[in-house]
Amino acid sequence: MTVESKILVVDDEPAIRDAVGYMLRSNGFGVETAASGEAALDALERERFDVMLLDVMLPRLSGVELCRRVRAASDIPILMLTAADAEVDRVVGLEAGADDYVTKPFSTAELLSRVRAILRRRELDRGASVRVLGSLEVDLSRHEARVAGEPVRLTPTEFRLLALLASEDRPFSRREIMQHLWESSYVGDERAADVHVANIRRKLDRGEGGEERVITVRGVGYRLAAV
């Protein structure tokens, strides 16, 4: 993370925008805020941001729909802000392409830690080499995945998960996956791993012989097959 990292905070509650914006600026981030999905889209057209903090419950254009629109055109990391009792919002947000979520009410320390982890993962993922499994290539330096030479659009979290699965020829448990994605021993709801895996499966499709690339190992977790 560098002082140039810029965060877009999208929330219709002025108190949250002010508090989160103040905390991030105090820790060396550039910050722009938006009170609606429409304003957020305008900001994203004008500037490049390193992370977007996005409230699920926005008026008119919902946070989930905004997430879908942004993800269709950009790989910016998206951290969703959701209500503590709204599990369906968290799942739908992840399915729409969000990389992570925090639940309201949250502490500023937790939010800052999660933002820093996202930026740190982003830098690490830009680090080295290409991993090849059958017709699948995982290019860590370019942060790209290709199947039979064709690029596959993945979110930052999906790419990080794919890189983990490609790192060793063994199954990874849901807990290992979430610890890797969150860089924390506390992983919250491990079922979020299933959503990310389902998204990757949908985007990678099947191998030339119809075999699944991401295999479920019953009672253990998931592994990546070279097909």
| Boundary residue ending a domain (97, 124, 151) | 124
- Same domain flag for 76 and 173: no
- Same domain flag for 79 and 95: yes
SS (H, E, C) 32-92: EEECCHHHHHHHHHHCCCCEEEEECCCCCCCHHHHHHHHHHHCCCCEEEEEECCCHHHHHH
pLDDT, one tens digit per residue, over 78-127 is: 999 987 666 777 788 888 889 888 888 888 888 998 898 888 877 765 55
Tell me which residue has tokens 């499966």: 201
What is d(CA 74, CA 44) in angstroms, rounded to the nearest whole number?
A: 10
> What is the residue range of 108's domain?
6-124
| Boundary residue ending a domain (96, 124, 152) | 124
- Same domain flag for 138 and 119: no
Sheet harboring 51-55: ordered strands across?
A: 30-34, 6-10, 51-55, 78-83, 100-104
pTM as predicted: 0.62
| Boundary residue ending a domain (124, 153, 173) | 124
- Same domain flag for 61 and 133: no
Residues of the chain with pLDDT under 50: 1-3
* pLDDT value of position 88: 74
- Same domain flag for 96 and 116: yes
Q: How many folded domains does the chain comprise?
A: 2
Residues forming beta bridges with residue 102, ordered by sequence position: 81
- Same domain flag for 92 and 140: no
* pLDDT value of position 66: 95
- Same domain flag for 145 and 211: yes
- Same domain flag for 46 and 118: yes
